[in-house]
Structure 1
């Protein structure tokens, strides 16, 4: 697959599997949790509360890993591994762009000051389980 085809596959996996695993670093060890991911302009975003462990972990070490896919048929599903750097994005534009009514259970609307996004800039992307092909690695 060429770079363009790999990027298209990457975007499709994210669109089809918005729930994945975010791993941060806590005390020099991985700390993983399920999150919901959004993709725009070569950047991943995941919503969270400002006052959480993961925000503190990212402030101490911005390197993260994300796993998406591999949830429908098991071993035959394509999935992606992403490693990159993260930061906190609390701009109103991003909050408005990705706001969903389901967030009302945690936040008082998109203007809630505790509502923020973890912004992830992928450095390396690996796509695995591509119809028996070896893993494909690329950068965005």
Structure 2
């Protein structure tokens, strides 16, 4: 499979599955939680509060893993595993772009200083369970 075909399949999965698992590192151990994800091409963004333990974790160790796509419909559900580096993103344009009214449960609005995004730049993406094919992988230099 060509890199472009693989990339298109990955973008299709991450664009159509907004809930996934973010794993960071806490005290040298994995710490996982469900998050909402948005994407621009292969870069992921997830909203969070600035004063959460996630922020402390990524400041110490910025490497994360994300799982997106599995829907429990069977062994053939394609999903992606993304290994990447995370950055705190406070750009107002991005905060406005990804803002949803459902966020008002946690934030006063898109200008709330506690509303930030984690930006995840992929280093390696694996697509699994794609029509019974073996896992496919694409790597990037950041």
TM-score range, shorter chain: over 0.9
Q: Does 1:88 align with 2:84?
A: no
Does the Cα contact within 8 Å between 2:79 and 2:127 map onto a contact in 1? yes
Where does structure 2 lack aligned partners over 5 or more consecutive residues? none
2:7 matched residue in structure 1: 7
Q: CA deviation at 1:76?
A: 1.4
Distance 2:132 2:33 in 1: 28
2:27 matched residue in structure 1: 27
1:60 matched residue in structure 2: 60
How many residues of Structure 1 are paired with residues of Structure 2 in the alignment? Answer: 140
Q: CA deviation at 1:74?
A: 3.0
Distance 1:6 1:59 in 2: 31
Structure 1 residues 22-66: Cα deviation after superposition (integer angstroms, max 9, x where no partner): 000000000000000011143110000000010000000000000
Distance 2:105 2:26 in 1: 27
| Aligned ranges 1:86-125 → 2 under 5 Å | 86-125=86-125
SS for the counterpart of 1:125 is strand
Q: CA deviation at 1:72?
A: 4.4
Where does structure 1 lack aligned partners over 5 or more consecutive residues? none
The answer to which of 70-79 and 80-89 deviates more is: 70-79
Q: CA deviation at 1:114?
A: 0.1
Hey, which bits of structure 1, 4+ residues long, moved more than 6 A?
Answer: none
SS for the counterpart of 1:13 is helix
Q: CA deviation at 1:75?
A: 1.6
Distance 1:97 1:22 in 2: 21
RMSD: 0.9
Structure 1 residues 57-105: Cα deviation after superposition (integer angstroms, max 9, x where no partner): 0000000000001114132100000001001001101100100111111
